[in-house]
A and B are shown apart, each in its own frame.
Chain A
Amino acid sequence: MTGLTRDAMAKRLAQDIPDGSYVNLGIGIPELVTKCVPEGREFIYHTENGLLGMGPSPEEGEGDPELINAGKRRVTALPGAAYFHHADSFAMIRGGHLDLCVLGALQVSCGGDLANWSTGAKDAIPAVGGAMDLVAGVKSIYVITQHCTKNGEPKLVEACTFPLTGCGVVNRIYTDLAVIEVTEEGFQLIELSPEIEFEFVKERTAAPLLPLKDS
């Protein structure tokens, strides 16, 4: 069985973002969400280095080296955009003004703990950026990730073994196999990807997974 592609995962997640949301997207798969805004909805993208109303990247070689996103790639500013300094930017984040943050993950625990900034390897240069502030302050945290690592290790676990980004912060997880909510009872299956069966997801989840509720 094969699950959703990265684009399809982003498209599935975008369906759950309400119209008018202020959204911060992490680097990687989260960035694909911008290509999947459902018809009739408008999201305003925040980038923590000081821009609300971020638009797509310009053509290669175009743009301004001083108009970049948090991944330090050149972007554009849409009509109605606003620039601000870092303390204001993180006031938006920490102060609960942003509606949603979409992040990648190394591991998510069934209690909603997130590990996404470090593998804890001794020779790695530690680097955290804004991830800890985002998970501490943004109203909803959605994780978008492959269900398992390239080596087949589950990323959804009982307890994270990698260094934490935040405790009890993740609300939902969108993977190639399923949509899963973090509840007080643990991982609750919300939806299976097409042609994916419950047992298949359960085997690849290293914590109890509650089956779909009867609708």
Chain B
Amino acid sequence: MTAAPAPKIDPAKMHPLKEYKHDSPLIGCRFDPSGQFVFAGAQDNNVVRWHLESGKKTLLTGHKSWVRALAFPAKERILFSADYAGRILAWLAGAEEPKPAYILDAHRGWVRALAVSPDGTTLASCGNDQLVKLWSIPDGKLIRELAGHVCHVYNVVFHPDGKHLISADLKGIVKVWDLAKGEAERELDAKILHKYDPSFQADIGGVRGMACNADGSLLACAGITNVSNAFAGVGNPLVVLFDWASGKQKHLLQPKVKFQGTAWGVIFHPDGFLVSVGGGNGGMLWFWKADDNKDFFSLKLPNNARDLALHPDGRRLAVPFFDGSVRTYSMEAPAAKSFGRHQGNSVAV
């Protein structure tokens, strides 16, 4: 007897799966590579781990400030989490009661983002000290500092070729670094995601989410644009899609239905479409094809969303919310039988 073919992934069939509750607003999340757990960074300085099936909740304590940046090597259950006090903590993510394996005093001020190299040996971090740093994962030693940004560095990702690192800042400057030389090779222009608001005399924007597609031919940068009132957050989410080879903007991906807020995260699905999550005046998920600047599907979320993660099975998404929940969503048609209520801290939704 052969196994039934897996259901086709179809964002239009998107539906909520489970809700995992914490008592503090959540600002970042990631699945572990085994797909057993979802981890979220919280405004109470904790990292929270939930077992997806049982809903068992475990607190990873040790940070001194809010945690937004979370990253895993592709094949290992080592969690790197970073806080707004400038520290990076490495955890054995599957341990019964995870403790920090090592702690890095990584940046002066906020660590904004983390990324792990495709070969799993190097961790990249960036922060408000305008620096990008490379760390050896086995021993936590600093490999190199990459200086050149002139404002807070908001995001960092490795290119799938393993030879380039991409960093992006508050003002929408995207730098492509040659890792062998440790030099900035070129810049991409995502300045549309930044504005200096003369009324409030302050900068708003920045590259809040960033991702490459699997073959490295596309780069997506997410944030806010069209800002008319910085201090009320009046603007619209936008994903800037770059052609990697030319470095030119390929598409400006916008919601079909106008939304006020920021695109806080963006991912490429292995099937080729992009997903972004927005928070501001509520929460939304949007789905785009790489060749169309209007979303082909969107889903209204129950609260302000802050980040987005794709499960290793490619079928589930996790979204952390202001209301302290991580909610998971399926991109398949709902099963005929509904999920029951789980013990612990998760419920079917």
| A and B part of one assembly | no
B residues near A, CB below 8 A? none
A residues near B, CB below 8 A? none
